Structure 1
């Protein structure tokens, strides 16, 4: 944001931060948080260390470091207030929660959770931290809701590293989908209006995440890998009979041997061409994103057993028919193809949030090593992003440019 725009929206910015004042305690901490947020939305090229201090009028970075390391304030309380803000400005009964992770490239081995691990940001294995994020999208726009720092198993079993990085004792190893479930349940408990959940294969392959969404009464459209299998009809499931005197019965459920799940690649290959529909489902940088889509009702496979009745949704590239993406959805049987495709296509918005966070609000430009310091910086960056998103919403409303590609 340019300096002239910052001045134009100064009063709005002040009102925005006043919502969060109770979570920053003492006046000095609140004032430094305001300065930090101001720096994050400013046009400074590098938003860390001396550069940020100079931009916000501090002689040294010491005050900012205190804000992130030692000042007494509640970063989780600020996160909760951010969720109320996002609900108030972007909330919609058909709102969509989107889960994804991103890498933060780092040097050394002291920053909490850092190790050599695959980063989609770099497209390869790098020394980095991984953050898992929950974002929100509706026809009004998109913004962050929550964040979790992924702690690899190697860190969980290393007391010395944990102590040096100030990682709380109650933080245990959790997979990325488990972190996503934790964030989703927190947002639901906070009253964030959310009908749908979507995400990539990392999250769609986790049956417990799909279960958590379904059990909450919400619907998912989650990507799965091409090696997944499904049933076309629900097979019979029973318990094996006694195997003779003196033997205990096997209590595991088994599927009728004649009923076998079908690999989704083989199933899709059998579909006639008239099953596919070409749809415009999302707005890209160069205009509407156009793909071929098809779907059919199936029965999910979970741990080699039939799961819930669901949709198998498939996206096909117009230019490369072999480029396919697969999704499972527990949406009702009467749900139309366009709606399923629209929800699946919103997955890119979390990537857009992350790109904007890194490019506009310094999300990846931090110099902290401690666990809680990471959460503090990321929370402040998410707050700054939400405020910029609210300005974008007001401009779009004036121009009548709400997203026409989302379900209503």
Structure 2
């Protein structure tokens, strides 16, 4: 009963951001349904298990809440963030983790669906992609911003935009541009500052890294093996002194016959003494460890065109497992030069938390189960999933050490005469509700996780 009372306090706190009082019951019911141990968590199954005696009415109510109701996702996620942040530890080292996740889809009508890279499938395919920013510490993590990536073909298609309810102010932006807006919004909201972590899909862009520098943020981001850098003691040279004839040079230039190295090429010049085996955390069966090296470098992207000032030195972290023929991962980091190698490795590897979050959100909270096609419904459903996840994460952090399956509730019993809408024995029209087939969540290079605790229901 204590958990139920805490849930009611949590819901009351979140619902203050919804506006109208008549949204509160539906929001609480939808969130509670997402925590039930049922296989499918789209609107109709949620309605059937939340209120088995009045499925049709509850279905209509929940559908209106998630697909049509005009409440703010930003305001609700801000309250989820504040609730969880207190449990993460205000004196902790925080991290801001940028990532994106895909949702395989069939057809072309669901908002933002296009043929693009889908991490869940590990290839190009028809899918939706959302960009997220998560707040993390050593204790846990939770998404605090979530936005659908709208491909350019969608952004320019006024007919499809109108049908899917895409707001007029939403323009085409690349994923890194969306991530920068999310980071800027977190700064403006006064979120505890964290080290920015991201994979090479974001870290490869020199302009993106430089934007983080301008924001005054430290980062540790992945880069590809072809990224070029200057090793310590090398790089562009200062402008020459003014000559009597001609215009004076103002830009730093590369010296003739000198070129930067790719990070892969630089890794192969390091001596055996520069490599160390580092353990960074406990895995499922054993401690995770690998071989790493860290050196100071300067980014060399397009500096052959001249620079007004030399780029600052930063750290290059390289992972080269002993059983591999070449290095496997690279990171550029702006952490202090005296940061110990083990701390640098732990920071780079902290990004695994968002992989775990996506796994639990999809598999246990139905993040990939939404069957609507509209912009508002896509974001509302994700916000509700994150709200449910945030409550159970905060409860888990509050009660460290308890068995996570000990409070799993039983699924509500359905009426004997209940049949799903659209089945052969029930000729209910499906015209009002659009449905896509949402594939079950897969795992993309993620650590297996145990189930989270599920909220007890009042009898």
TM-score, length basis structure 1:
0.89
Kindly indicate whether residue 33 of structure 2 is the aligned counterpart of residue 35 of structure 1: no
Match of 2:253 in 1: 254
Match of 2:193 in 1: 194
Superposition deviation, residue 371 in structure 1: 1.1
Kindly indicate whether residue 113 of structure 2 is the aligned counterpart of residue 114 of structure 1: yes
CA–CA distance in 1 between the matches of 2:332 and 2:83? 31
Match of 2:87 in 1: 89
Distance 1:286 1:373, change over 3 A: same
The higher radius of gyration belongs to 2
CA–CA distance in 1 between the matches of 2:66 and 2:319? 43
CA–CA distance in 1 between the matches of 2:376 and 2:358? 20
CA–CA distance in 1 between the matches of 2:330 and 2:354? 19
SS state at 1:72 partner: coil
Superposition deviation, residue 395 in structure 1: 2.8
Kindly indicate whether residue 311 of structure 2 is the aligned counterpart of residue 307 of structure 1: yes
Paired residues for 1:8-407 under 5 Å: 9-57=3-51, 58-60=54-56, 61-90=59-88, 91-232=90-231, 233=233, 235-237=235-237, 254-304=253-303, 306-396=310-400
CA–CA distance in 2 between the matches of 1:137 and 1:287? 23
Contact 2:93 2:138 in 1 (8 A): no
Match of 1:406 in 2: none
Distance 1:86 1:238, change over 3 A: same
CA–CA distance in 1 between the matches of 2:270 and 2:362? 42
Q: Deviations over 1:221-252 (max 9, x none)?
A: 1010000111123534456999999x988977
Q: Deviations over 1:307-363 (max 9, x none)?
A: 221001011224325242001011111111111100100111111110010011111
Q: Deviations over 1:70-93 (max 9, x none)?
A: 223222211222222232221444
Contact 1:360 1:385 in 2 (8 A): no
Select the structure that is richer in helix. Answer: 1
Superposition deviation, residue 126 in structure 1: 1.6
Contact 2:264 2:327 in 1 (8 A): no
Superposition deviation, residue 377 in structure 1: 0.8
CA–CA distance in 1 between the matches of 2:217 and 2:393? 26
The number of equivalent residue pairs is 392
Q: Deviations over 1:243-286 (max 9, x none)?
A: 999x9889775323344211211211111112111111123222
CA–CA distance in 2 between the matches of 1:217 and 1:28? 43
Q: Deviations over 1:362-384 (max 9, x none)?
A: 11110121112211111111111
Select the structure that is richer in strand. Answer: 1
Contact 1:92 1:194 in 2 (8 A): no
Q: What's the RMSD between the two structures over aligned residues?
A: 2.4
Q: Deviations over 1:101-140 (max 9, x none)?
A: 1111112211111011110101112211001111122122
Contact 2:267 2:327 in 1 (8 A): no
SS state at 1:307 partner: coil
Contact 1:94 1:193 in 2 (8 A): no
- More displaced stretch, 124-133 vs 210-219: 210-219
CA–CA distance in 2 between the matches of 1:319 and 1:396? 37
Contact 1:101 1:130 in 2 (8 A): yes
CA–CA distance in 2 between the matches of 1:244 and 1:128? 62
CA–CA distance in 1 between the matches of 2:350 and 2:120? 19
SS state at 1:59 partner: helix
SS state at 1:125 partner: strand
CA–CA distance in 2 between the matches of 1:96 and 1:296? 23
Distance 1:180 1:92, change over 3 A: farther
- More displaced stretch, 337-346 vs 231-240: 231-240
Name structure 2 gaps, 5 residues minimum: 404-459
Distance 1:278 1:162, change over 3 A: same
Contact 2:87 2:398 in 1 (8 A): no
